[in-house]
């Protein structure tokens, strides 16, 4: 087990923007896996007064909302186009997000498979946290089309530039799925991953 965990298999789920990670996470949940979203961990982190105070001290109070929490769209606007500011923010948040994910993994019941959706898994150096790493990929045009309601073309390109390349994710993953077909194919793949994770649990008994 990773990092001395016992009786739990932690699966790191990553992939390209718009490739279908969130859909896969829901499918894992339907199969009985416990799930963790790194995005929700970040949301909770930015609501903490201590973290919000440090962020506001560096970037100014305009990045906070009326309740004193970090306003993520405002913060994103401030760091956009400023690599040094993004690097500062990542240095602050990446260890805290890792801690939050680890806490959630350790809270699950023994004998569980827990799947953690982590878009920046490799970029943040989180790969050592997981027993199995899975990447959901898709062609660029498919991913653009799926993301159109969430991001404009410019924002999509900016976010894409912050991510590891497809080749890097594929090379670092234990299982990879290219999600350019129908939903049934993704569901079948998720089932295969879940069975492999369950097999890892049985090997530890």
Q: What pLDDT was estimated at residue 98?
A: 97
Q: Which of 28-32, 68-72, 135-139, 156-160 has the lowest mean pLDDT?
A: 156-160
SS3 call for 35: strand
Q: What pLDDT was estimated at residue 142?
A: 94
Phi, psi angles (nearest 5°) of residue 138: -165, 160
For residue 15 the two structure tokens come to 């992939």
- H/E run at residue 56: helix 49-59
| 23-59 pLDDT per residue, tens | 999 999 999 999 999 999 999 999 999 999 999 999 9
In the predicted structure, residue 203 carries a pLDDT above the cut 90:
no
In the predicted structure, residue 90 carries a pLDDT above the cut 50:
yes
For residue 161 the two structure tokens come to 């530039």
In the predicted structure, residue 6 carries a pLDDT above the cut 90:
no
Residue among 193, 132, 123, 128 nearest 164 (CA)? 123
Q: What is the mean pLDDT of residues 85-111?
A: 95
Q: Give the bridge partners for 37, in sequence order.
A: 117
Q: What pLDDT was estimated at residue 193?
A: 99
In the predicted structure, residue 82 carries a pLDDT above the cut 50:
yes
Q: What pLDDT was estimated at residue 205?
A: 65
| 148-193 pLDDT per residue, tens | 888 888 888 888 888 889 999 999 999 999 999 988 999 999 999 9
In this prediction the pTM is 0.92
Give me the helix-helix angle, 38-46 and 83-107, nearest 10°: 110
In the predicted structure, residue 1 carries a pLDDT above the cut 70:
no
Q: What is the mean pLDDT of residues 126-131?
A: 96
Q: Give the bridge partners for 15, in sequence order.
A: 136
Topology (CATH level 3) of domain 2-203: Rossmann fold (3.40.50)
Residue among 91, 11, 85 nearest 51 (CA)? 91
């Amino acid at each position: 087990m990773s990092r001395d965990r016992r009786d739990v298999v932690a699966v790191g789920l990553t992939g390209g923007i718009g490739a279908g990670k969130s859909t896969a996470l829901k499918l894992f949940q339907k199969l009985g896996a416990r799930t963790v979203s790194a995005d929700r961990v970040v949301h909770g982190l930015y609501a903490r007064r201590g973290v919000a105070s440090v962020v506001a001290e560096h970037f100014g109070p305009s990045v906070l909302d009326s309740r004193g929490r970090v306003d993520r769209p405002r913060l994103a606007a401030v760091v956009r186009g400023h690599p040094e500011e993004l690097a500062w923010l990542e240095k602050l948040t990446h260890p805290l997000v890792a801690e939050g994910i680890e806490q959630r993994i350790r809270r699950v019941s023994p004998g569980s498979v827990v799947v953690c959706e982590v878009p920046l898994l490799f970029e943040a150096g989180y790969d050592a946290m997981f027993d199995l790493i899975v990447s959901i990929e898709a062609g660029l045009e498919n991913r653009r089309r799926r993301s159109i309601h969430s991001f404009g073309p410019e924002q999509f390109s900016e976010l894409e530039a912050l991510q590891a390349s497809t080749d890097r994710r594929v090379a670092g993953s234990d299982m990879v799925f290219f999600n350019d077909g129908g939903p049934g194919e993704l569901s079948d793949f998720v089932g295969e991953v879940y069975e492999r994770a369950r097999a890892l649990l049985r090997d530890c008994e």
